[in-house]
Homo-oligomer: A and B are copies of this chain.
Amino acid sequence: MDPTNLKKTGFASLSTMADAMAGFLARVQPAGATEEVHIDASLGRVLAEAICARWPVPSYDKSAMDGYAIQATDSFGASVQKPCVLRLGGGIVIGDEPAMAVSRGVAIKIATGAMIPPGADAVIKIEDTELDTDGTTIRLYKQVAPGGNIIRSGEDYKEGHLVLPAGRKIRPQDVGVLATLGMTRIKVITRPVVAVFATGNELVELDGLHHDTAGLVDPRTAGRCKMVDSNRHAIGAFVSIAGGVVTRAQILVDDERAISDAIISALTACDMVITTGGTSVGERDFIPSVIGKDHEILYHGIAMKPGAATLLGTGQGKPILGLSGFPVAAEIGMLYFGMPAIRKLAGEMVLDPRVRVRARLADAVAVKGFGITRLLRVELDHDTSTENDLPRAIPVKLSGAGMQRSMVESDGFIEIPPDIEGYEAGDDVVVVLHPC
């Protein structure tokens, strides 16, 4: 055997992570379907159309304070030593239209939020006034400028102003402004529908096994070498956070024909297909051959760890994501490829909203070999964050793509670039936070 050929049974070449992400997402097109939901079900959904102000917000001039509506000139020169005196002309009940107008020398009592009466151009705060004992005149102890303590109609949004763009993921404060604009139903993008298939004869379905009264299942009752297909449940949760929904999830037997049929059928019914397992280059790794024959492989073999065996493809114009069967590699594939693809299918503006925070590395990290992006799982210790220092990033000391614990016990990744050999303890690093 020619020793230079020894490695050739692995991946012939690896794509960079950046190329794979960009190239895969470039081939994902928004699914386009929309639906209407009640405003109280709109949180976290993606707006299908831009929202403009249907009227000025607020829709009328209102008082910002409890006080008296006056003509500002009537307060000019007023001080504690030399108050101005105005006649009390009545009061305005909040929610009612003012029944009277303010004229020179007249003050009308007004509550915060009540409509400014005609003729008034300022509100003087109640703290800056005193009502005489007979209740007919008030003294002003301060002067107030024209427009003082008045919230103008349109101060928040002018009529027609763009309030929220299409593709915006709706936040709680957005729900508030949609209500202010009188929208009971919101037009949103329909959640992308995802199929999740697992391959691997060692897998059993959690819901397919006998469970005891506490809902507990022991996969070993199906055989000493059996384990639960846990990936489908984790992937379903990641899909949900990205705004999609898993409508079919199934274990496929290690048979090319069965895998081919299941994927073709799912591509017709769903917006995206995700598989786990069988993406490597072993003889029973059928995903690459099936996708290569029936559809199109965009990337297979990516210079990242964990996740090198990820396959990115497309079929019937829809994204196909072939994840490793190893839980951590599968989860990383979801975070870097799956969730951005679902967000693009959903027409969302931001494809990867994960937060990046600076941190100080607690321990030295050494990396073996160049050319691969390493996704180091770290825990953030916020207790060490002071005004003068960053939170500590503590590497989770568990290697291996199979270690679920490294994802469960970490807060995020340090993305170690391919050209870096490692970091020193105390280095300033960026941590990409896991979604939660």
Contact = CB atoms under 8 A, between A and B. Distances in A.
Interface size class of A (residues with CB under 8 A): 35 or more
B433 A355 contact: yes
Contacts of A182: 206, 209, 211, 216-219, 228
Contacts of A216: 54, 182-184
B356 A95 contact: no
A160 B115 CA distance: 66
A404 B177 contact: yes
A132 to B, nearest CB: 10
Contacts of A151: 400, 402
Interface in A1-17: 1, 3, 6-10
A86 to B, nearest CB: 15
A183 B404 contact: no
B95 A223 contact: yes
A234 B176 contact: yes
Interface in A389-436: 390, 398, 400, 402-405, 407-408, 433-436
20 contacts: A3-B141, A6-B127, A9-B127, A40-B233, A54-B218, A55-B218, A55-B220, A95-B225, A97-B223, A113-B202, A171-B434, A175-B236, A175-B237, A176-B233, A176-B327, A179-B232, A180-B327, A184-B206, A184-B216, A353-B436
List 4 tightest A-B contacts by C-beta distance, closest first. A176-B234, A185-B215, A95-B201, A172-B237
Interface of A: 1, 3, 6-10, 36, 39-40, 43, 54-55, 57-60, 64, 66, 80, 93-97, 111-115, 126-128, 130, 139, 141, 151, 155-157, 163-164, 169, 171-180, 182-185, 200-203, 206-207, 209, 211, 214-220, 223-238, 240-241, 254, 280-284, 325, 327, 331, 334, 353, 355-358, 382, 385, 390, 398, 400, 402-405, 407-408, 433-436
